[in-house]
Amino acid sequence: MDVATQSHLAALRDLLIYRLGELRADLHAAELAAADSRDRAPGLDDVHDMKDAATQRSDVELMSAQTRRDQDELALVEAALQRLDAGTYGDCAACGEPIALARLQAQPAAPRCAGCQAAFEKASRRA
C-alpha cells in the first residue's frame, strides 16, 4: 500500500462500511420482494397465456441478475475490509503492486490494480 493510501485509510474504511450497509439492505429488500412475489404470483403452471409466463420469467431473471451483482460486490467489500484489518489493503491481489489511491477512492473494494483488472476481465470474458 502506498503512503497516500495509508493517509486515506480511515475514509476508505468508512466508504466500505457504508457500501456494506447499502448492499445488505438491497439484498434484504430483494429477498423480501422475491418472497412477496412467490406468495402472490400464480405458479407458472397456472399461467396459460405464454406471453405472461415469459414476462414473469424475465422479471425473475432480471431481479436475480441484480441480486447476483450485489452478492458479488458484497463479497468484494467484505474481502476488502478483511484486508484492511490484515494490513494488506491497497495491494493488487494479482501483481502485489500498490493500487492507485484514485482507483481505491472510486472503487474502495477493488482487489486489483487497473492493469491486472483489465487482464482479469479479458480472461473471464474468454472463459
The footprint of Zn ion (CB under 5 A) covers 92, 94-95, 113, 116
| Minimum distance from residue 80 beta carbon to Zn ion (Å) | 15
**With respect to Zn ion, which residue has the nearer C-beta, 33 or 95?**
95
- Taking alpha carbons only, the member of 101, 84, 94 closest to residue 124 is 94
**With respect to Zn ion, which residue has the nearer C-beta, 44 or 102?**
102
Cell 429477498, residue located: 31
DSSP per-residue string spanning 46-63: G---HHHHHHHHHHHHHH
Residues 6+ apart with CB under 8 A from 116: 92, 93, 94, 95
| Minimum distance from residue 79 beta carbon to Zn ion (Å) | 16
| Minimum distance from residue 114 beta carbon to Zn ion (Å) | 8
State the helix-helix crossing angle for 50-86 and 9-40, rounded to 10 degrees: 150
| Minimum distance from residue 116 beta carbon to Zn ion (Å) | 3
**With respect to Zn ion, which residue has the nearer C-beta, 84 or 113?**
113
**With respect to Zn ion, which residue has the nearer C-beta, 29 or 95?**
95
